[in-house]
Amino acid sequence: MSGVSEEAGFSTRAVHAARVPAVTEEPASVPIYQTATWRFDSSEAYAEVLAFERHGHSYGRGYGNPTVEAFESVMAALERTEAAYGFSSGMSAIHAVCTTLAGAGDRIVASRELYGGTYGLFSQVLPRYGIGVDEVDPHDLEEVRRSLEGAATFYVETIANPLCTVADIEALALICREEGVPSVIDSTFASPWLCTPADLGFDFVVHSVTKYISGHSDVIAGVVCCTGADRHRLRSTAIETGGAMQPFDAWLSVRGVQTLEVRMERQCASAMALAAFLESQPHVTRVHYPGLTSHPHHSLAARLFRPGAFGGMLAFELGGGTEAAGRWCEALELAWMGASLGGTHTLVTHPASTTHRQVEPALRADRGLADGLIRLSTGLENIEDLLEDFGRAFKLTAV
Ligand SMILES: Cc1ncc(COP(=O)(O)O)c(C=O)c1O
């Protein structure tokens, strides 16, 4: 550390006198390195660190930060990949992985069952840069195989937002391997506790860290888990475009992910109980939860996911369309109506007007996104209280 003389002016001492003490004991909480830049004594070392020819830290826009690296290492360990790279949001992670793998004139093959924001990126943004996106039915393996010829990448979600459909991702990864096409999976809804897609053969596992990983609705962040070589490629994209993860978000995420298992255990159990309750309600026309034996992908999910667990997300349909869905959500007292998922609060949302508003109405109908559909993210509240809240909402709205 640079010294500062006792004679130096007040502000000079205020800026330079703080010392980071040498610490030998390992702290239980990963320290937060909330800094944008670092000091070098030699211009050679500075240039080499900036060029990644020597290990070190130089600048906070994606060149590396110890707190972010701590988060990346825990994510790689949980997703069972060689490496991981943090982003400033799930969307910046998705954008970076797509633009790293595809450029002008390339084609991405994507599942047609995706989060609305990803659909917006694929339908409105990437085509403006000459990247075409072809949608496929992820449940039709032959269609996927045919469409992969000459594709730059294949993109799918582990549990699709919002209908909680589950494709045979093991078979999809194998097809991609056979066709030599890099595979990307958004595993936000599943979290690595439920499923580790890299073990099934996926090359890139993406998360909106905003959701289950950080787990407390206080972070916007993303991550891509992949090989070390692919991490370098993603890092180059992030450095040139911005959008790398920031230290405080990494610190909150390192802290949050430590309780992922206990949160997921509670959230999966509550989702199962709520799905069964909703299925028994006369005005609920359909419940979409892979844990229910009535779900078309139940046995697939049982094979692919952790035994006995099916996730904390579900969706259900009310016969009365948008109006009934809105009234029911407004009648809740405990569960909140709001954006996001995977946090401690139970959240409901109406996909047609919120998460999937980017999808044109005719296409929404074609994709099974009914106007009366409500998406539910189970939180950590006690199940008795949630059941009471839901029961009260049905009584009040008589839907
Ligand atoms: C499945 C899925 N992927 C990606 C995202 C985008 O994540 P973020 O909001 O962190 O950019 C979301 C957001 O809701 C999502 O649900």
Q: Using one digit for the tens of pLDDT, what is the confidence trace for 125-144?
A: 999 999 999 999 999 999 99
Q: How far is the CA of 220 from the centre of ligand 1 (A)?
A: 9
Sheet harboring 83-87: ordered strands across? 83-87, 222-226, 204-208, 183-186, 153-157, 107-111, 132-136
Q: How far is the CA of 90 from the centre of ligand 1 (A)?
A: 5
- More confident position, 251 or 352: 251
Ligand 1: atom nearest CA of 210 is 10
Whole-model pTM: value is 0.97
Q: What is the pLDDT of residue 1?
A: 44
Q: What is the pLDDT of residue 371?
A: 92
Using the predicted structure, report yes or no on whether residue 311 has a pLDDT greater than 60: yes
Q: CA distances (Å), 235 to each of 64, 98, 229, 245, in order?
A: 9, 13, 10, 11
Ligand 1: atom nearest CA of 209 is 10
| Helix (H), strand (E) at residue 157 | strand 153-157
Kindly report the protein residue whose alpha carbon is nearest to atom 16 of ligand 1. Answer: 115
The catalytic site residues sit at 61, 115, 186, 211
Q: What is the pLDDT of residue 214?
A: 98
The rounded distance, in Å, linking the Cα atoms of 187 and 170 is 13
Q: Quick: pLDDT tens for 238-283.
A: 999 999 999 999 999 999 999 999 999 999 999 999 999 999 999 9
Q: How far is the CA of 9 from the centre of ligand 1 (A)?
A: 49
Check if the beta carbon of residue 49 is closer than 8 Å to that of residue 57: yes
